[in-house]
Amino acid sequence: MEQQSATAELNTLDGVTATTSELNTLDGITSTVGELNVLDGVTATTTELNVTDGLTASTAELNQLDGKTISNVLTPANNNDIPTSSAVNTYVSGLLNALGGFVAIPNEASFPTTNPDPSDNAGTVVSIADAGGLVIDNSGTSTSGTTTGNAAVTITGFPSSLHSTTLGNDLGLQVQTTSTLNTYTYHKLIAKETDITQLSDDINDFNARYRVSASAPTTDLDAGDLWFDTTAGKMKVYDANDSAWEEVQSVGNFSINTLSSSSGTGGGSATFNGSAYRFTLSNAGATAQQMLVSVNGVVQKPNSGTSQPSEALRLTPTTSSLLLHLHLVRATSSSPLVRRSTLASPVTTRSTRHNWSTVLSLTPRSAAVQPLRRPSWLSLLTLLTTKRRGLALAKT
């Protein structure tokens, strides 16, 4: 039996033309007959088999190629394709075009001689580090830039705030390509680094100087710091000498006032006719306390309410009405007393610029004067009206 098996195995070599050297190649091979049979029917040439000469890939690694297909198009959702380098290049170029691309140049005389857009189209951003000296006309177009080859560059679309201007040194500028060579559209003006730093410092300084809160700040206090007290609804300034927050005081706004007839009760005349006591002011204050009225140099007391006062004056802001009750006023030892019925229309009106106040001078009718002494004496009534806020002094 063993003799027959050996004979059958030897018969396998029947017709083999391999040399002794070639047969020795198999010396030491431990492959089984089944493993060797894998090559049964293989039509690969020696050259083709030599491709694997020196290959160190494992079977698992080689199996990763199983089912894969070489493709000239990169399809992100396809897991079975192996794209070529050309396919990868096309895909990446498409992404850059979608993003617009970016090209940096040092100044407005360094534009590229060819369209910097990968597709020779619109969308790529060209950033100019220093566009100082670029001239923009009154229609928002600049033609003062050039390429490195000294060809003229046109930039359109500048905003109206930049029309008829020349950009200052160190200002940056970004423009976008168009499909036309050496023609770009405005994108963005870039501030100088020093300006940005200064602006940041100014904002920080303002934040340190001005604060808004319900209680007084107690840290980082410097003379002149401002604080808006939301509890009191007042602006305050820090006084370093007193180490205290002091309320900000306004000198006030003074307005010219003239009298005209009022249609309300007690009105009907623009002059002092003996019966009218209500007059319309041209620029009334919000309260009677804002009105400063003097009669023969005596400042009259402001009163609340809207009817004729029993003394001095009242103010009705809604109708800009000034209501007066003129007492007999003893001016000086040598001046007569004048009743309100003796007052006449104003004969002189003079505006002075003493703290923006207005002086309205009126004289009485000489025939109606009831002097206690010297009949020829004419008394002068000076009505001084000002609209004021805070503490203010008006000069006549």
- Tens of pLDDT along 240-274? 988 999 988 766 667 777 778 888 888 888 877 76
Q: Which residue has the higher pLDDT, 354 or 189?
A: 189
Tokens of 230: 């939301």
Residue type, 22: E
Most confident option among 198-212, 268-282, 302-316:
198-212
Rounded CA-CA distance 80/84 in Å is 13
Ranking 64-68, 164-168, 253-257, 294-298 by mean pLDDT, the lowest is 294-298
Widest Cα–Cα separation across the chain: 176
pTM over 0.75: no
Q: Identify whether the C-beta of residue 381 lies closer than 8 Å to the C-beta of residue 338.
A: yes
pLDDT (0 to 100) of residue 113:
95
Q: Identify whether the C-beta of residue 333 lies closer than 8 Å to the C-beta of residue 377.
A: no
Q: Write out pLDDT tens, residues 14-33.
A: 677 777 777 777 777 777 77
Beta strand 358-362 with 348-350 is antiparallel
Most confident option among 100-104, 333-337, 374-378:
100-104
- pLDDT bucket at 112, cuts 50 / 70 / 90: very high
Q: Is the pLDDT of residue 77 over 90?
A: no
Q: Percent of the chain, pLDDT > 70?
A: 72
pLDDT (0 to 100) of residue 336:
37
pLDDT (0 to 100) of residue 4:
55
Q: Identify whether the C-beta of residue 276 lies closer than 8 Å to the C-beta of residue 269.
A: yes
Q: Which residue has the higher pLDDT, 49 or 154?
A: 154
- Tokens 């039509």 appear where? 43
Q: Residue 275 CA to chain centroid, in angstroms?
A: 60
Q: Is the pLDDT of residue 132 over 90?
A: yes
Rounded CA-CA distance 167/151 in Å is 20
- pLDDT bucket at 76, cuts 50 / 70 / 90: confident
Q: Identify the DSSP state of 168.
A: P
Average pLDDT of the segment spanning 112-117:
92
pLDDT (0 to 100) of residue 392:
27
Tokens of 175: 């423009």
Residue type, 254: F
Q: Is the pLDDT of residue 94 over 50?
A: yes
Cα dihedral sign, 86-92-97-98: positive
pLDDT (0 to 100) of residue 301:
79
Rounded CA-CA distance 108/110 in Å is 6
Tokens of 335: 């001046």
Burial class (CB in 10 A: 0-12, 13-18, 19+), 148: exposed
pLDDT (0 to 100) of residue 177:
94
